[in-house]
Amino acid sequence: MERAMKSITRIAAALALTLGLTFGAAAAPGASISGEVKKIDESAGKITLKHGPAKSLGMDEPMTMVYRVKDPALLKQVKVGDKVTFEAEEAASGYTVTKMEKAK
């Protein structure tokens, strides 16, 4: 009986560690980036953002870049000059904003 309890405890600990590592790693790519809207091109589904370092994208320096947007409705929620926080991902076609909201 004692041996079975030790096995169950080890399995539970291993499962907790695995889940913690899985969810921790999944959270990293979604790190928010602070920026400012410089240009909006609704017809092309693109936005130009000036932003600080974007560690989640491997960018250590501040820069201004053109991004595609995953959902064109995001472009209607902001205007040039707005401060925003956003999340983006790298794809074969370039960088794409997946989430964006006005900074508080």
Long-range contacts of range 77-80, CB-CB < 8 Å, 24 or more positions apart? 77/101, 77/102, 78/37, 78/40, 78/47, 78/102, 79/37, 79/40, 80/37, 80/38, 80/39, 80/40
The range of the structural domain enclosing residue 20 comes to 1-30
Position 39: which residue type?
A: K
Do 82 and 36 reside in the same domain of the chain?
Answer: yes
13-61 residue pLDDT tens: 554 545 444 444 333 456 899 999 999 999 999 999 999 999 889 899 9
Do 36 and 26 reside in the same domain of the chain?
Answer: no
CATH code of the domain containing 43: 2.40.50.320
Do 67 and 96 reside in the same domain of the chain?
Answer: yes
Whole-structure pTM value: 0.70
User: Domains in the chain: how many in total?
Assistant: 2
